Amino acid sequence: MNLEQWVLPDGTATALGNHRPPEEFSFPVRAGLPDLPESQWREFDLRANSDYPVKIKNQGSFGACNGHAAASAAEDARYVAGLDYVPLSPWMIYADLCNGFDRGSIIAEALTHCERKGTCNDSLVPHGTINPRKISSEARENAKRFKIEIGYRISDFREMCIACQLRMPINFSVPVNAGFNMLDAEGVPRNRAGWHNHAVQAGFAMKRGKNGWLIGMRNSWGEQWGINGYCWVSAATVKGSGFDAYAILATEYDPQQAPPPIA
């Protein structure tokens, strides 16, 4: 499978590696995201906290967007849980999913991987590793510390907003096409409805826009893209075919860190 290539504003190329799961695909998610009326939604941005540590990742020329979104979401889940920051590897996830062939992957598979196997400290897997046989036993053992619990399958933008309000990190798909590199005055990509071919991450910020709520999005194309690697997405941003999104309920207990005190 030849991955679709996308040229970034600086002229470098990356790959769009999101695939929609087949209808028979099963994954451990809960039914029925809790409802939260829009009247109770509030603006927030975890990045405004002085201790917020999660950084922008860069998938380079590989179609590893799902692995990167999954790793960033797990880092956000640990932050929300009050656990120490550990940069987590997107490459362990992608290597297992693509089995050494740079062919992209499925959002649900990435999240299932994090639920069942976890992913390790980023320093234990070199950048660009896509062969699972090159991942060390040390990295495999370390990954057991960093598992997540998949929460809910998200069906539309409103449910994305609810998950954000409940501080659940989200992996979701977007259609990358003409205008995606160009942000409007509110920082929203000018893409159009189309096939969803890229996986990104959210859950750390929301704000009111001129025409409705906006959700903060973290991309995995380095800080040269968007607003230092970020942008805001609206309901229009995620229109199209093949939308896929899942919210992480929590991160599992880290056996090497004592749980935070109960307030």
Express each pLDDT in 95-121 by its tens digit: 999 999 999 999 989 988 999 999 999
**Main-chain phi, psi angles of 75, to 5 degrees:** -65, -40
CB-based contact 148:250 (threshold 8 Å): yes
Minimal CA–CA distance to 68: which of 240, 187, 256, 225?
225
Amino acid at residue number 137: S
Half-sphere exposure of 21 (CA within 13 A, CB side): 21
Minimal CA–CA distance to 130: which of 198, 62, 199?
62
Minimal CA–CA distance to 120: which of 84, 151, 93, 150?
93
pLDDT for 71: 97
Distance (Å, rounded) from C-alpha 199 to C-alpha 18?
A: 6
- The helix, strand and coil proportions of the chain, stated in percent and rounded to the nearest 5, come to 25, 25, 50
Minimal CA–CA distance to 79: which of 59, 43, 55?
55
Amino acid at residue number 111: L
pLDDT for 262: 57
pLDDT digits (tens, 9 = 90+) for 185-243: 999 999 999 999 999 999 999 999 999 999 999 999 999 999 999 999 999 999 999 99
CB-based contact 164:202 (threshold 8 Å): yes
Percent of the chain predicted with pLDDT > 70: 96
Fold category of 4-20+36-48+58-251 in CATH: Cathepsin B; Chain A (3.90.70)
What residues does each domain of the chain span? 4-20+36-48+58-251
Minimal CA–CA distance to 119: which of 188, 68, 56?
68
Query: CB burial class (10 A; 0-12, 13-18, 19+) of residue 11?
Result: exposed
pLDDT band at 21 (very low <50, low <70, confident <90, very high): confident
